[in-house]
Amino acid sequence: MRIALNTRILQAPRTGIGQYVAELVSALVDEQDLELSLFHGWGWGRELPAAAMPGYSRLAPWLRRIPGAYRARRWLEQQRFNGSQSPAVDLYHEPSLWPLEFDGPTVITLHDLTHLHYPSTQPPARLKEIERRLGTGVEQARLILTDSQFVADEAQDYFGLPRDRFVVAPLGVAARFHPREHAELEHNLAPHGLQPRGYFLCVGTLEPRKNLSQALEAHARMPSTLRQRYPLLIIGMAGWEQGQFGEVLHKGLASGHVRLLGYLPDEQVAQWVAGARALVFPSLYEGFGLPVLEAMASGTPVVLTRRSAMPEVAGAAGNYVEPGDVEGLSTTLLRLIDDEPHWQTCREAGLQQAGLFSWKHCAQITARTYRQAMGG
């Protein structure tokens, strides 16, 4: 079976969906009856790009300011997709939101409905394109993959489609996320004056949906000596409307109790995750919550909200807090410092829970969905 898979998102630095595309493609190689052709936006290939397009992070904000830029880029991509160099394929899989036009059977992956709940996280031009194209794309798809049952149920209700149009394919965890010995971590942490298990970590784009303000405020309520000993580190790119964090962020940065590490290479992220006292992930809405799974697989306890799809990922291993309950989150962080038996229990429960997920399993469900869409 010849599959066209759109990997254009890998032109950008890899965040959640980019990681999904890269890991899925790598795992689908084991499906012997599949032949993958990868569309990278300007042409076709067989191999994944090793890195993002040079200068993409600087170019993307500039392009957003050009009227009609999204539509123009979309038109150019469609021409390249249909061009004379396009391979003969049996099925097209669009893994990122809305599909290009294709005459044959189409499968899409719908990761979440963030644009409905938090439209401010999208640049206005992109939001308009989502609203204009997503409904048509969903109708076009023979089958719709989702990362969680939560998104499948939500999308079924919103689009009014039958349940059998949706297939849940839970995400997996990359091999680089695993428990690490302290000696392995020290060379990464020592230049920052940190010790393994001597900091809390947030991972995610700085945007309102991630609710990092609750993490910042909860950390700020800890005694000053503990904030100094266990600073709060944040890994991620600046997002849309990230200025909402205001004074509490500036105070934390000024004191050194909060540190912004920015966007980091994959291997560095894995090391920071493995060395944290806990991952703090108070997000308000997630279609899955990949950092939660990655932290558990690394032997790092997780603190999160019981919202959207996240309980499907963390199960009983999560330390759950209510959105907006700053005092409750602060108390949870203090317990993960003071109560070593509790910390160890959370670590072991997380490792066991993470063992239920794999990219191999995700790829197997995806391949089965391709066959089903082809009528097999």
**In the chain, which segments carry CATH 3.40.50.2000?**
2-172+358-373, 182-354
Q: Give me the pLDDT at residue 55, please.
A: 52
Instruction: Give the N- to C-terminal CA distance of the chain in Å, as an integer.
Output: 11
CA pair distance 355, 359, nearest whole angstrom: 11
Please answer whether residues 217 and 246 qualify as being in contact, where contact means their C-beta atoms are separated by less than 8 angstroms: no
User: DSSP for 274-319?
Assistant: HH-SEEEE--S--SS-HHHHHHHHTT--EEEES-TTHHHHHGGG-E
CA pair distance 309, 311, nearest whole angstrom: 6
Query: Residues in the chain, how many?
Result: 376
Give residue 42's identity as a one-letter amino acid code: W
Range of lowest pLDDT (67-81, 91-105, 164-178, 296-310): 67-81
More confident residue, 70 or 129: 129
- How sure is the predictor about 22, in pLDDT bands with cuts at 50, 70 and 90? very high
Each residue's pLDDT tens digit, 356-372: 999 999 999 999 999 99
More confident residue, 73 or 299: 299
Q: Give me the pLDDT at residue 250, please.
A: 84
State how beta strands 232-235 and 258-262 pair.
Answer: parallel
Between CA 154 and CA 80, with CA 100 as vertex, the angle to 5 degrees is 155
Class assignment of domain 182-354?
A: alpha beta
Provide the CATH topology of domain 2-172+358-373. Answer: Rossmann fold (3.40.50)
Please answer whether residues 301 and 221 qualify as being in contact, where contact means their C-beta atoms are separated by less than 8 angstroms: no
Compute the average pLDDT of residues 118-141.
81
Each residue's pLDDT tens digit, 52-69: 555 555 555 555 556 667
Please answer whether residues 333 and 278 qualify as being in contact, where contact means their C-beta atoms are separated by less than 8 angstroms: yes
Please answer whether residues 309 and 292 qualify as being in contact, where contact means their C-beta atoms are separated by less than 8 angstroms: no
Q: Give me the pLDDT at residue 130, please.
A: 81
CA pair distance 323, 314, nearest whole angstrom: 16
Each residue's pLDDT tens digit, 29-46: 999 999 999 999 889 999
Q: Give me the pLDDT at residue 64, please.
A: 56
Compute the average pLDDT of residues 315-326.
97
SS3 48: coil
Average pLDDT, the chain: 90
DSSP annotation of 265 reads: -
Q: Give me the pLDDT at residue 50, please.
A: 72
pLDDT over 90 (residue 316): yes
Q: Enumerate the β-bridge partners of residue 36.
A: 3
Please say whether the dihedral angle defined by the alpha carbons of residues 238, 239, 240 and 244, taken in this order, is positive or negative.
Answer: negative
- How sure is the predictor about 150, in pLDDT bands with cuts at 50, 70 and 90? very high
Beta strands in 98-255, from DSSP E residues, in sequence order: 106-110, 143-146, 166-168, 200-203, 232-235
Each residue's pLDDT tens digit, 237-278: 775 444 556 688 888 889 999 999 998 999 999 999 999 999
